[in-house]
Amino acid sequence: MTQVLGKVVTFDEFVAKYPDNRGQRYELYDGVVVEIPQPTGDHEEIVVFLSTKITLEYSRLSLTYGIPKTVLVKPLENESAYSPDLLLLNLTNLVNEPLWKKASTVTQAASIPLVIEVVSTNWRDDYLKKYADYEEMGISEYWIVDYSALGGREFIGKPKQPTILICCLEEGEYRVSKFRGNDRIQSTTFPELDLTAEQIFSAGMIS
């Protein structure tokens, strides 16, 4: 589970203090610093798999994109800052990002073609808070990869089963599509991406 730390802080205070040199991940939720637990191996295998497939695709298309190691996504409307499991950057727009040089932080949807969260025990953050903030920011595509079917029944149905939700922005709101089993992933960012939900889930069963 996530651990809430201390008092309410501003974004500037957050980036000045966190992350520190312990290698721990932190996020900021409306001024509250949250310590993110160490992910499982299955979680990280899925992140590696998706990072590889997406890198191959944007490289094939000669797009000026990149997947960074540690970059924060900050909604302008509140004192929050997220460290997504996978963040795809539009490198050409970074010159327009006011916080990029000093804090490796992006605030503009034009910098973020795609963001992916692989669901852990703090699943409500991915389905509720991050969903709302990414939508409000205007991020065009957001994937929620729930490989262990941890999310609530209102999101993944009953009986629960591993599900990928792909949220695509339409007229300022997310349209949500669900993918399971042999369903082929349908991405607006990468419409030719040849990948099924099961291939993504199976990436967490390699070891």
Specify the higher pLDDT residue, 7 or 126. 126
**pTM for the predicted model, two decimal places:** 0.92
pLDDT of residue 18: 74
The confidence band for 21, taking pLDDT boundaries of 50, 70 and 90, is very low
pLDDT at 116 over 70: yes
pLDDT at 3 over 60: no
Mean pLDDT of 37-55: 94
Mean pLDDT of 29-55: 93
Which DSSP string corresponds to the chain? Answer: --EEESS---HHHHHHHSS-TT--EEEEETTEEEEEPPPPHHHHHHHHHHHHHHHHHHHHTT--EE--SS-EE--TTSS-BB--SEEEEEGGGGGG-TTHHHH-EE--GGG-SEEEEE--S-HHIIIIIHHHHHHHHT-SEEEEEETT--S-HHHH-SS---EEEEEEEETTEEEEEEE-TTPBP--SS-TT---BHHHHHHGGG--
Mean pLDDT of 46-71: 96
pLDDT of residue 1: 45
Give the pLDDT confidence of 79-103 residue by residue, as tens digits.
999 999 999 999 999 999 999 999 9
pLDDT at 120 over 50: yes
Mean pLDDT of 156-181: 95
pLDDT at 207 over 70: no
